[in-house]
Structure 1
Amino acid sequence: MSKQLEQQPIESMRVDKWLWAARFFKTRSIAKDAIEGGKVHHLGERVKVSKEIHVGMELTLRQGFDQKTIVIQALSNARGSAPIAQQLYTETEASIARRELLSTQRKLHNLARPEHRPSKKDRRDISKFRQENDQQWSALDD
């Protein structure tokens, strides 16, 4: 008999193990640290590392700038390839839209940055501009 036929369907498993198998984190210890750091929530409340999860549960994960709301579709004890791991969950439409909006805002915010450091002449001009504005503001205050 093959191994796949011998395995029983999984009813529940630990959240840290599932996050590792679903490839949200590289190792279980990193998943554990994220959970303990308050980066994983279920129904608006922080979860513990040993939290038993089931198919259909909704989790909210924060990774860097992104916050994802996912629904668990399947459970797996083994860490598989990325395409297999993506079948373990689905991200909600609202979560996708929110992440895209925030990503666009971050990109637009970064466009306002100059492409280079100010040169010596630029720094002199900035200093002159500030001094003139300080004088104008002090004249208005008097």
Structure 2
Amino acid sequence: MAAAIAAAEAAGPANGGSVRIDSWIWAVRLVKTRSQGATACRGGHVHVNGERVKPAYSVRIGDEVRLRHEGRERVVVVKRLIRKRVGAPVAAQCYIDNSPPPPPREATAPIGIRDRGTGRPTKRDRRELERLRGAGGAGGFGSPGGRPTPGGRPNPGGRPKER
């Protein structure tokens, strides 16, 4: 662990220097790629000390960084400046996390998930799933006026198949 911290210190700028914000949020693992960090800055999702910043903004020790990413807001205070990506335990020592707690997992559960091992859904189950997901139409066979083919698949033209 001490060697990793030393490597992170070596990856940082010279005494009293600064690091680009897009590079720093990538290095401390707040985003997966540096280009995602730059895109978040350009889109107005990154604020430093309450101001919207561009990707080339120089972040300094003590700055408060607010990042809105993947439906969650992260609020961190910069403790250490690094330029290179490091492991998660070392990255966590480079900032103080003041973020609100993430929402509980059961509150974000997807709708219409079937129990494992229940087999193939029946027609009634499929219609219920489509209704829950908002994909079902009034006709039930895809396009309005379309009749099912002999195999039960939708026939968008509404005419019987040529044989």
TM-score grouping bracket, smaller chain normalisation: 0.5 to 0.7
Q: Is the 8 A contact 1:10 1:75 kept in 2?
A: no
TM-fit CA distance, 1:28:
1.9
Distance 1:110 1:36, change over 3 A: same
Please name the residue that 2:86 is paired with. 80
Q: Is the 8 A contact 1:10 1:76 kept in 2?
A: no
Q: Distance in 2 between matches of 1:83 and 1:121?
A: 46
TM-fit CA distance, 1:56:
0.6
TM-score by length of 1: 0.64
Any stretches of 5+ residues in structure 2 without a counterpart? 1-6, 115-120, 132-163
Question: C-alpha offsets along residues 42-65 of structure 1, whole Å, 9 cap, x if unaligned?
Answer: 233311111111101001111112
Q: Is the 8 A contact 1:60 1:69 kept in 2?
A: yes
Any stretches of 5+ residues in structure 1 without a counterpart? 127-142
Give the number of equivalent residue pairs.
Answer: 113
TM-score by length of 2: 0.57
Question: C-alpha offsets along residues 52-83 of structure 1, whole Å, 9 cap, x if unaligned?
Answer: 11101001111112111110010012222121
Same amino acid, percent of matched pairs: 32
Please name the residue that 1:64 is paired with. 70
What is the alpha-carbon root mean square deviation over aligned residues?
3.0
Distance 1:123 1:86, change over 3 A: closer
Please name the residue that 2:100 is paired with. 96
Give structure 1 regions of 4+ aligned residues with deviation exceeding 6 angstroms. Answer: 121-124
Question: 1:1-142 counterparts in 2 under 5 A?
Answer: 4=10, 8-92=14-98, 95-97=99-101, 99=102, 103-104=103-104, 107-108=106-107, 110=109, 113-116=111-114, 119-120=123-124
Q: Is the 8 A contact 2:65 2:77 kept in 1?
A: yes
